[in-house]
Every structure is written in structure tokens, then in C-alpha cells.
Chains A and B, each alone.
Chain A
Amino acid sequence: MKRTLSVLVENRPGVLTRVAGLFSRRGYNIDSLAVGRTETPSLSRMTIVVDGDERIIEQVCKQLHKLIDVIKLSDITDEPHVDRELVLIKVNAEPAVRGEIMQIVDIFRARIVDIARNSLIIEATGDAGKIDAIENSLRPFGIREVVRTGKIAMLRGSKE
């Protein structure tokens, strides 16, 4: 079971090490971790995707909470939220197949951001499912390199 945790932390050196160290030390499976500054400069937000059963997720949350630098933590998996990942894919692209690749890029509302003689770099954003789909569609052409950011997520605004 994959859960998405949104974790507000102090924007201080060493915080990432503390969080990452916790996962490796206690043997939790971390799927992805993305971190960046928030609207408040003294705070960072981490979006962590973890894999594990209910008990493990509960332990992960409690152990994260125990870190002095962790201010707030919520499991937003079941809350209405928007999540996105950014991917850069370098794909083989002989002139003969470029048209076909550009069609795929269009379908996924992705963008071509760099062109070389025999390859293209494609940029796409979306949820994990879409990113996987575009990666799969491009695989037959020969993917040379993939860089993914890991998921970032935000709760939707309240209804009223």
C-alpha cells in the first residue's frame, strides 16, 4: 500500500539527512521523496511516498513526528489533493520516427525541450500514472535516460 505523506519541516541543514536516515535505519521502503522551500522561508515541505502495511505506515509517521525538526505531518493519500511529478526523458529519435514521437508528446500534453541529431528530450508533468504511461509509450523507440522528480502534492482548497 502506497501512502503519500506531506511533511512540514524546519528549513535547516541536516533535516533531509535525518529524514532519509530514519527510513534506511528502520528499514522502511521509500518510494520517492521531494523537498523544497515553502511560502515561509524558514520551512520546507517534503512529499514522501512510502510503501508498507498499515502498521508500518503508522510507525513511519510516529518516528517522523519524533524528529525535532518535523513540525507537522499528514497522510494525505485519502484527502482530496493534487499531485504531480516532472519527468525528463531522453529518447532515441531518428528523423524517420520523429513524427510518431511528436504525436505521443501531443497526446500526453508533454513538450520537447531539446533536439539533438539522433535524440530528443521530452518534458512531461502529471500524476505518477501519466508519467508511467508516457514512459511506456516511448520505450519502443529506445529510452536513453530518465530523470524523475518524485511526487509533490498539495491538498485542494476547502469547498466553501
Chain B
Amino acid sequence: MAEERSGARALLEVLQQEGVELVFGYPGGAVLPLYDELGRSSIRHVLVRQEQAAVHAASGYARVSGKTGVCFATSGPGATNLVTGIATAYMDSVPVVAFTGQVPTTMVGSDAFQETDITGITLPITKHNYLVNDVKDLPRIAKEAFYIASTGRPGPVLVDIPRDVALTPCQEAVPQEVELRGYKPTYQGHPGQIRALAQLLAEAKRPLIFVGGGVVASGAEELLRQLAEKIQIPVATSLTGLGAFPEDHPLSLGLIGLHGKPYANFAVKECDLLLGLGVRFDERVTGALQQFAPQAKIAHLDIDPAEIGKNVRVDLPLVGDLNCIIKELLPLLKPYDAAPWLARIKALRSSYPLIASPGGELQTPWVIERLGEMTRGRAIITTDVGQHQMFAALFYGYTEPRTFISSCGLGTMGYGLPAAIGAALARPDKQVWLVTGEGSLQMHMAELATAREQGLAIKILLFNNNCLGMVRQLQHDYYQGRYTAVKFSGNPDFVRLAECYGAAALRISKPEEVVPALAEAMQNDRLTLIECLVSEEEMVNTMAPPGEVIR
């Protein structure tokens, strides 16, 4: 007798149809029907060491490849372990689809073994989620999940599949098209608004483009370059926007905001038209709202209408896909007299430079600058969260989109290593560097084994200041130096630890060791860790206390 096609088999058909090549996950009882089918398919599975790492890896994979990342987890603790990863993806608008096993439908709601209401739990941190009650809905729901995750403003979608649903025969074919009457993203910008924007640009004397993750997500970086070059508008970015505009470009200002580049922040203060592209004017960027870009009219272009007017008052809202909008805008542009503004920016740049000095002892910014030079700004950099993250954002010099991979919106320590695994699997042709701190690395250290198992030659640049540097800095600045719970006194020997995981490892503590160490790591084809011993006294440049005016 021929085997009947189960719900699980139907789901795998959807994955195949969606072009999924790779799934990150961790099995358990309730999700076994899916794993059984996955094992019989041609899709590769990457077994992580904890479910949170599966979402982070799927997220890193998605951000680097532009495809949707996929992860599997079991019910109960497996599903709840996903939560931080899903929230991380949600805050950075990353397309990820998570499939979780659930207890059988007959037991849902009974507090059964390993039952949690994961759709309830993830309601506020997913773009959408589903509990599949009936196998006949499964192919449609799975298809919708990919569609919702990857279109409009991308985001994570979770599909919770009870075990019996996955095992029940499924007659329904996989639909070719998705039809959702409540979900119709706007792609074309309003022609009148586009003309109005061209007019604003024509009247501006000191325009500035502020670029966020939306430019990367929509792949509009080439059109952005044309827009900036055509009439010579300087370009600043948010954290998620890093790489959308090459930092070695004369019009590039780099990062703005709380930890941004001083001259870039001054340029924002002085501009008279700020053109926000795919940004959400996060508090980390704007500081106190009334003092943000105080002289400027603000035009805000985004595919998510709810972002417009949410944080800052906008003079010109424009909803749509950035590609569509910029394409329409380009032919309408009239040159303005850019010379005075560009001269002013040049002056700001030399008055408030950002310099990494080699110093006497090893300093993080200087190491990162060397890394940027030696990889010519072309490696993929994933980071964790803390001072090292800000240094990596400020001193590397990104020249390509999808090369700065970091938890920007949620600030999730532990993101970097699993994200590097996803990144390395997405781009085997690229070098992937993880810039991390000893605090963050220890959150998902076990994923070193996953990296090794997958044969990934990830390079880890570990800045060991033996403390939770960013928190220590906050206590230094705002708690009169009363340091509480920020110092480690029993950390492992990270070099030996890395070696236990089969990595090459070395430790450096002097500036002259940096270039040889980086060169060695770049040459070998192994998982490699370079531990840099740095001072706990290092401080990240901060423009303002939280919530206050950025100066």
C-alpha cells in the first residue's frame, strides 16, 4: 500500500517549493513528525546546541542571503527557547519562519506535558503566527507564512503544528498563490508625494539622507547611491543601515545617534532637510525628540505606514517600496548648490574626527580598524552586544550591504556566534568575522561545536576586558562608578576553551601582535579565535544620556 501523504510531508513540499535549502533546529517529541520527513528530504538540517541559536542562525542566514531563514523546535521548552530569538528578529525586521511542534490537538489547553501556548507567547513579537488546528489548512498556512515573512516589511512568523496534525493524511495541494484579503503591502509610492519630495529637495540647501535597515531589506542600495550622487547629498546611517552606503564614499557620514560619529551627528543638527529611508527613528538615534534635527523638515519613506509619524513628526510621508519610490524620484531631481554644504561637512569632519589610536596598550577601536583595512571592508562582521558592538559599528568601514549583522533593535547578547554560523552557511565564499566580548560569547559558547561540526571557518575576534563593559560604562557615567555585578572573576581560559572545541586559538595583548594575528587567522581555513586582552577602562563615545539631547 502506498504511503499516504501526511501533513508533515505536505509541509516539506512547501519548504521545497519555497526554495528552502537549510533549516536550523533542535528536535523533540512533538516535532518528530516534521523531523522524520525532513530527514527523508534533500534539505540540510543544522543541529544547534540550544533553540535560541537556531533562530539567531536563521536570522543571520536571512540577513546575509536575503532569503527567508527557517528553524524548527519542539513544543514547550523548545518553543520558549525560541522566544528571545524571535523577538530579536522582529525588532530588526528579519524574515524568519519558525515551525514548532505542539502537543496533539486533543490535548491542547490541558497543560499537557511540554505544552505551552507559544502562539499566545509570541503574539507581540511576530509579524503573524498560526496554530494549525486542521491538516487541511496546513499547506495554505505554511505558504502564507513564507509570504508574510518575506514581503512588505519583513518579520518573523511562527507556525505551531500539533503532532497529530502533522501525522494526519493531507489531501490539499500546496497553493501556488497566496491570497490574503487583510494583507496588501503598498509598493508604489504616491506620485503626488514623490513630486512633493522632489520639490522639497529642490528647495533644500542642506539636505541629508538617513538610511536604515529598510534600504538593505529592499535591496535599494544601488538606487540610493544614484540618488545621493546625482545631486550630492551626504548619507548617514542607523546601525541596521550600515553597509547600505559604502563608508569609503566621499558622501558617507557613517553612523549617527547615541553612539554615532560626532561629525555625523553635527551634520544632522545642521541639515535643513532630512530624508529618512527605511528607518524608524529609534530613540537611540534621535535622543530627545524635540532636539532631533531641529532645523530640518523631515521626509520619511517606508514600506510600513505605521512607522511614519510614530516617533518623529513628519513633514512629508511617503509609503512604499524604496526601489519603486527612488526610481520615480530620480528623473525629477534638480541639482542644488551643494558646494557650501559639502564644504561645511568637510569642516565638521576635520573638527570632530573619530580617531582610533594605537596607544600603548591594545585598544579595541584600533584592532577593528586594522581588521577593516586587512579585509578591505568586505568581510561579513557579526557582533554581539556591548562596547565591542559599537566599536565594530564605528571603526570597521563597511562597503557592502548585508555585511554588518548585529542585534540592533533588541540588543541581544549571544546573537553573534549563531548569526555568524548562519552567515557563513549563506555565503561560503565570504570571510565571516565575529566581533564579541567575553560576556556575550558565553551566552551561546556551545555553538562553537555547531560551527566546528558544520566545518565553518568563522574567525572570532574576542575582546576580553574581563567585565560587562557597556554596563560598567553606564555605572561609571551615571552611578558614580559604583560597579555592581559587572566584573568576572572566574572566566575560563578562552584559548584553551576554543581549542577544546577544535578551533585554532591565540591570545594577543600588544598592538604589534595585531596584524600578524589577523593575517594568520585570514590565511587558515579553520574556526579560529583571537583573544585580545583589553582594558576594562575603555569607553565608547556617547553623545547623550539615554533620552536626552544628542550633542
In the bound complex, CA of A152 to CA of B178 (Å): 33
Is A17 interfacial (CB-CB < 8 Å)? yes
Residue of B nearest to A63 (CB): B306
Which one of A14, A55, A70 contacts B119 once the chains associate, using CB atoms below 8 Å?
Answer: A14
* A130 CB-CB contact with B under 8 Å: no
Q: Is A100 an interface residue (CB 8 A)?
A: no
Q: Which of B116-156 contact A (CB under 8 A)?
A: 119-120, 123-124, 127-128, 131, 148
The A50-87 residues at the B interface (CB cut-off 8 A) are 55, 58-59, 62-63, 65-71
With both chains docked as a complex, state the minimum distance between the C-beta of B313 and any C-beta of chain A, in angstroms.
Answer: 9
Alpha-carbon gap, A9 to B181, bound state (A)? 10
Closest B residue, CB atoms, query A73: B182
Residues of B close to A68: CB separation below 8 A:
127-128, 148, 180, 182-183
* A117 interfacial by beta-carbon distance below 8 Å: no
A10: CB under 8 A from chain B? yes
Write out, one digit per residue, whether chain A residues 1-36 have a CB within 8 A of any chain B CB (1) or not (0).
000000001100010011001000100000000000
Give bound CA distance, A21 to B123, whole Å: 8
With A69-B182, A71-B181 known to touch, is A59 a contact of B123 (CB < 8 Å)?
no
State whether the Cβ of B327 lies closer than 8 Å to any Cβ in chain A. Answer: no
Say how far A43's CB is from chain B's closest CB, in angstroms: 9
How far, in angstroms, from A21 to B126 measured CA to CA in the complex? 13
Point out the residue from A21, A55, A59, A69 that lies within 8 Å of B124, measured CB to CB. Answer: A21
Let me know if B219 is at the binding interface, CB within 8 A. Answer: no
A82 to chain B, nearest CB (A): 26
Interface size class of A (residues with CB under 8 A): 10 to 19
Q: Residue B310 at the A interface, CB < 8 A? A: yes
Interchain CB contact under 8 A, B309 and A67: no
Bound: A67/B449 CA distance, A? 39
A63 to chain B, nearest CB (A): 5
Contacts of B309 in A (CB 8 A): 55, 58-59
Please report the C-alpha to C-alpha distance between residue A70 and residue B180 in the assembled complex, in whole angstroms: 10
Is A10's CB under 8 angstroms from B182's CB?
A: yes
Bound CA span A65–B304, Å? 10
Report B273-326 residues with CB < 8 Å from chain A CB.
304-306, 309-310
Residue of B nearest to A69 (CB): B182
**Nearest CB in chain A to that of B304: its residue:** A66
Closest to B133 in A: A13
- Closest-CB distance, B320 to chain A (whole angstroms): 15
Which residues of the other chain, B, contact A59 by a CB distance below 8 angstroms?
Answer: 306, 309-310
CB of A85 to closest CB in B, whole Å: 27
Do A18 and B306 touch across chains, with their CB atoms under 8 A apart? Answer: no
A17 touches B123 (CB 8 A): yes
Of B119, B180, B182, B309, chain A has the most CB atoms within 10 Å of the CB of: B182
Q: Closest A-chain residue to B183, C-beta based?
A: A68
**B430-457 interface with A by 8 A CB criterion:** none
Chain A contact surface mostly:
helix
Contact present for A70 and B182 (CB under 8 Å): yes
Contacts of A65 in B (CB 8 A): 305-306
Q: Indicate the member of A9, A10, A62, A67 with the most B CB atoms within 10 Å.
A: A62
- The residues of A that contact B180 with a CB separation of less than 8 Å are 68
| Distance of A68 from chain B, by nearest CB (Å) | 5
Question: Would you call A25 and B182 a contact (CB within 8 A)?
Answer: no
User: A18 vs B123: C-alpha distance in the bound complex, in angstroms?
Assistant: 7
Cα–Cα distance between A63 and B120 once the two chains are bound (Å): 18
Interface string of B153-191 (1 = CB under 8 A from A): 000000000000000000000000000111100000000
Q: Are A71 and B182 in contact (CB under 8 A)?
A: yes
Q: Is the CB of A62 within 8 A of B306?
A: yes
Across the interface, name the chain A residue whose C-beta is closest to B128: A68
For residue B306, which residues in chain A have a CB less than 8 angstroms away from its CB? Answer: 59, 62-63, 65-66
Shortest distance from the beta carbon of A69 to any chain B beta carbon, whole Å: 6
Residues of B within 8 A of A67 (CB): 182
Shortest CB-to-CB span from A61 to chain B, Å, is: 9
A67 to B181, CA, bound (A): 11
Residues of B within 8 A of A18 (CB): 123
Q: Is the CB of A25 within 8 A of B305?
A: no
Least distance between A137 CB and chain B CB atoms (Å):
43
Q: Could you say which residues of chain A place their CB within 8 Å of the CB of B120?
A: 17
- Among residues of B, the one whose C-beta sits closest to the C-beta of A67 is B182
Smallest beta-carbon distance B185→chain A, Å: 10
Residue of chain A at shortest CB distance from B124: A25
Residues of B contacting A58 in the complex (Cβ-Cβ under 8 angstroms): 309
**Cβ of A71: which chain B residues have Cβ within 8 Å of it?**
181-182
Expressed in whole angstroms, the Cα–Cα distance for A70 and B184 within the complex equals: 11
Task: For the complex formed, measure the closest distance between the CB of B108 and the CB atoms of chain A, giving whole angstroms.
Answer: 11
Contacts of B148 in A (CB 8 A): 68
Instruction: Name the B residues within 8 Å of A69 (CB-CB).
Output: 182
B183: A residues at CB distance < 8 A: 68
Q: Which residues of A contact B127 (CB under 8 A)?
A: 68
Chain A residues, CB < 8 A from B181: 71
Q: Which of B200-235 contact A (CB under 8 A)?
A: none
Which chain B residues lie closer than 8 Å to A10 at the CB level? 182
When distances are taken between beta carbons in the complex, the residues of chain B under 8 Å from A63 are 306
Residues of A within 8 A of B (CB): 9-10, 14, 17-18, 21, 25, 55, 58-59, 62-63, 65-71
The 3 closest A-B pairs by CB, nearest first: A62-B306, A71-B182, A68-B128
Could you list which residues of chain B lie within 8 angstroms of chain A, going by C-beta atoms? 119-120, 123-124, 127-128, 131, 148, 180-183, 304-306, 309-310
Q: List 14 A-B contacts (CB under 8 A).
A: A9-B182, A21-B123, A21-B124, A55-B309, A58-B309, A59-B306, A59-B309, A63-B306, A66-B304, A67-B182, A68-B148, A68-B180, A71-B181, A71-B182
| Known pairs A17-B123, A65-B306, A68-B148 / 6 extra A-B pairs, C-beta < 8 Å | A10-B182, A25-B124, A55-B309, A59-B309, A69-B182, A70-B182
